[in-house]
Structure 1
Amino acid sequence: MHAMQYELTLPADYDMGVVRARVARVGHLLDDWDGLGFKTYLLRERGVNGSPVNQYAPFYLWNTMEGMNAFLWGGAFQGLCDDFGRPSVRQWSGLAYEEGGAARSPARCAVRRRQPVPDGAEPAEVAAEAAAEAARLAGEEGAVASAAAVDTGRWELVHFSLWEHDTPKTDGDVFEVLHLSAPGRDRLPRGRQW
């Protein structure tokens, strides 16, 4: 499993209706993308849920590198680049994935929490703690799914969770889910990834 995200931070007075309309128009295009576990089309609005910015920030979990590379290099990503410019794309190695008790419910919001791996920390211990946190989050009421991943270039963990309601039971950046493309969600490996 591979996690991926890019962020488009938009001006404070940007009409976020433009992003909503774009997702309504093109969101379905990845509903059957080979190798994709799921893509969440995420939006933050300045002043809502503590967000300091307007931001469009899709988050992906990939089942295969081939699917991710086909998206990035095969032309699908170019439409976003044409409309907004080419963003930096963050990638993390998957540590754990869990389905929540509300897995069959539509996801209304997502929470992303990034945190540095402390210097001197044992990687095996950090990975085990991240996997346990993914399981804990998935066990919370209203959790749709939870994942943990690590960027070993920056030594940064990312915890990502989907919720069926607007009051998630975790800290982090809160996003509205505009659409969820999930052609391979049922094939995402459960539990720890090592």
Structure 2
Amino acid sequence: MHAMQYELTLPADYDMGIIRGRVSRVGHLLDDWDGLGIKAYLMRERGAHGSPVNQYAPFYLWNTVEGMSSFLWGGPFQGLVGDFGRPEVQQWTGLAYEEGAAPGSPAVVAVRRRQQVPEGARLSDVMEDAVRETGRLAAQDGAVLAASAADPHRWELVHFSLWDHDTPEAAGEVFQVLHVSAPGRGGLPRGRQW
């Protein structure tokens, strides 16, 4: 599993209805994309859920590198680049994935928490803690799914979860979920990924 996200931070007075409209028009394009586990079309709106910014920030869990590459190099990503410019694309290597306590429920919000891997920490201990945190999040009432991944370039962990209500049992940045494409969700490997 590979995790990926890009963020488009928009002006404070930006009409976020434009983003909602965009997702309603094009969100279905990845509903059957080969190699994609899940794409959560995410948005933060200034003032909602404590967000200081307006932001469009889709989050992906990929089953295959080929699917991710075909999306970036020859797929719908070019439309976003044409409309908004080329954003920095963050990637993390999968550590763990779990279906949540409410796996069939529609996702209302997502929570993303990034954390630095402490200097001098035993890497296997940090990664095992991330795996346990994924299981803990997934077991909470209203959790649709949970995942964790690591970026060894920045030595950063990311914890990601989807929730069926807007008061999630997770710490981090809260995003509104506009749409979820999940053609390969059933193929995402469960549990520890190494």
Aligned to 2:163: 163
Q: Please give the TM-score of this superposition, normalised by the length of structure 1.
A: 0.99
Aligned to 2:143: 143
CA RMSD of aligned residues (A): 0.4
Deviations 1:100-124 (A, max 9, x none): 1100000000000001000001111
Structure 1 residues without counterparts, runs of 5 or longer? none
Matched position secondary structure for 2:48: coil
Aligned to 2:4: 4
Aligned to 1:128: 128
Matched position secondary structure for 1:101: coil
Deviations 1:23-64 (A, max 9, x none): 000000000000000000000000111100000000000000
Residue 139 of structure 1 aligns to which amino acid in structure 2?
Answer: A
Matched position secondary structure for 1:49: helix
Aligned to 2:37: 37
Structure 2 residues without counterparts, runs of 5 or longer? none
Matched position secondary structure for 1:137: helix
Aligned to 2:114: 114
Pairwise mapping of residues 3-152 of structure 1 onto structure 2 (< 5 A)? 3-152=3-152
Matched position secondary structure for 2:33: coil
- Cα distance in 2 for partners of 1:38, 1:151 equals 19
- Cα distance in 2 for partners of 1:77, 1:51 equals 25
Matched position secondary structure for 2:81: helix
Q: Please give the TM-score of this superposition, normalised by the length of structure 2.
A: 0.99
Shift of 1:74: 1.1
Residue 5 of structure 2 aligns to which amino acid in structure 1?
Answer: Q
Residue 66 of structure 2 aligns to which amino acid in structure 1?
Answer: E
Structure 1 segments, 4+ long, off by >2 Å, are none
- Cα distance in 1 for partners of 2:34, 2:122 equals 35
- Cα distance in 2 for partners of 1:63, 1:75 equals 16
Aligned to 1:183: 183
Matched position secondary structure for 2:49: coil
Residue 184 of structure 2 aligns to which amino acid in structure 1?
Answer: G
- Cα distance in 2 for partners of 1:149, 1:173 equals 16
Deviations 1:79-110 (A, max 9, x none): 00011111000000000000011000000000
Shift of 1:75: 3.1
- Cα distance in 2 for partners of 1:109, 1:40 equals 10
